[in-house]
């Protein structure tokens, strides 16, 4: 696949957007309903000094009364292909930064950039570019979704560019990411799949089972080899059957697996989502967006890798055959839907959107919960669970919108 115009270049830091009223000044948010790892605190407070949450408020701190609002940890998205009209697979550095900022405006303070299937030379080039952004702290790492996936369950990936997961080629991608590869999605039943899972586990990279046509037994073998994530559970895999349970049963029943779920009302029926959530539990669910360029941008025609996509009424589908092609979801919408439609508790939704993905990424010492010493990444919601503020590392990306 040819390199898209503007895809090459040197990464540079994104423009920061501090809220002028609080930039650089200690801040105390008071009167809020604060969701902590130990439970929800009414009329609580969160103190920010510099880039971190602190236990004690300095004397010169600015106090902001956020009574009637929730303060929750910033959202963490481990599977995201773009947004704001920009693609992480093919966009320029400026495009990628625009996509990252679009999701920050919707509460995602930590994001893993996902690619889609392409030829190996193109993907290694993208890995190098994205690794620079990871080194600068703009993204938390790189997720390679394809090309090592099943043609039977390819979804919105180019079948012509798919290949078996040869460990040597998997290693080539990891090396190109210069230590910033976070996750690789594989159809582990393909030739080389199990050996590639073992390689990824040895290298400290998450092996994710997805876009797979595996049987139950083949999935168990992959988990035993070191796979730890189910890429968008239910989607792009055989359905659950009572005689042929397939990968879904194996992934749900094993406590070693974290399952990704796309809660946009299109990818999953609420009953399927609740089934997965209540079987796995909040500690094993990571809500993701699987977002493509149109997230936070609007309907129209887009490209997902080499495939053309039409987005209508917020649903992305391949122009050629109508296959769902990622989503236009943002995590603030996923949070609200989880609580208001799916009936999850606020605490469980916070776990699935923040604590679980932080732990999966090995970053729970810095992010994923509101605790002293951790990064001041937080989201402010009103009583209807609508976003009213976003702070990332002590700076307001969206200044508090209070009545």
Residues involved in catalysis: 290
**Token pair for 320:** 């050629």
Q: Are 195 and 153 in contact (CB under 8 A)?
A: no
Burial bucket for residue 340 (CB in 10 Å: 0-12, 13-18, 19+): exposed
Q: Are 302 and 293 in contact (CB under 8 A)?
A: yes
Q: Are 176 and 128 in contact (CB under 8 A)?
A: yes
* H runs (alpha helix) in 211-321: 216-225, 246-253, 270-280
* H runs (alpha helix) in 236-361: 246-253, 270-280, 331-340, 346-350, 356-360
> b/e for 152-175, b at 16 or more Cβ within 10 A?
ebbbbbbeebbbbbbbebbebbbe
* H runs (alpha helix) in 70-161: 93-104, 120-135
DSSP-derived secondary structure letter, 136: T
Locus of tokens 């797979």? 212
Angle between helix 270-280 and helix 246-253 axes, rounded to 10 deg:
40
């Amino acid at each position: 696949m040819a390199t898209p115009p503007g895809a090459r270049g040197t990464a540079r830091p994104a423009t920061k957007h501090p809220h002028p009223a609080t930039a650089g000044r200690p801040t105390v948010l008071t009167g809020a309903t604060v969701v902590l790892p130990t439970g929800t605190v009414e009329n609580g407070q969160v103190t920010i000094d510099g880039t971190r949450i602190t236990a004690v408020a300095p004397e010169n701190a600015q106090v902001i009364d956020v009574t009637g609002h929730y303060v929750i940890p910033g959202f963490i998205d481990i599977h995201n292909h773009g947004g704001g009209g920009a693609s992480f697979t093919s966009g320029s550095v400026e495009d990628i930064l625009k996509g990252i900022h679009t999701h920050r405006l919707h509460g995602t303070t930590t994001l893993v950039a996902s690619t889609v299937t392409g030829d190996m030379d193109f993907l290694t080039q993208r890995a190098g570019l994205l690794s620079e952004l990871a080194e600068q702290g703009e993204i938390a790492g790189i997720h390679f979704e394809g090309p090592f996936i099943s043609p039977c369950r390819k979804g919105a990936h180019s079948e012509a560019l798919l290949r078996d997961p040869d460990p040597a080629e998997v290693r080539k991608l990891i090396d190109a990411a210069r230590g910033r590869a976070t996750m690789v999605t594989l159809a582990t039943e393909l030739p080389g799949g199990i050996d590639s899972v073992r390689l990824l586990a040895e290298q400290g990279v998450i092996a994710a089972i997805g876009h797979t046509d595996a049987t139950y037994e083949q999935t168990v073998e992959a988990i035993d080899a070191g796979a730890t994530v189910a890429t968008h559970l239910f989607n792009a895999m055989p359905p659950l059957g009572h005689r042929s349970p397939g990968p879904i049963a194996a992934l749900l029943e094993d406590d070693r697996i974290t399952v990704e779920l796309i809660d946009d009302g299109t990818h999953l029926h609420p009953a399927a989502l609740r089934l997965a959530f209540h079987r796995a539990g909040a500690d094993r669910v990571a809500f993701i967006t699987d977002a493509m360029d149109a997230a936070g941008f609007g309907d129209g025609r887009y490209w997902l890798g080499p495939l053309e996509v039409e987005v209508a009424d917020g649903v992305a589908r391949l122009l050629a055959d109508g296959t769902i092609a990622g989503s236009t979801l943002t995590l603030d919408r996923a949070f609200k839907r989880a609580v208001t439609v799916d009936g999850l508790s606020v605490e469980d939704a916070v776990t699935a959107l923040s604590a679980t993905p932080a732990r999966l990424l090995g970053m729970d010492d810095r992010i994923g919960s509101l605790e002293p010493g951790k990064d001041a990444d937080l989201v402010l919601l009103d009583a209807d669970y609508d976003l009213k503020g976003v702070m990332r590392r002590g700076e307001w990306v969206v200044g508090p919108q209070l009545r």
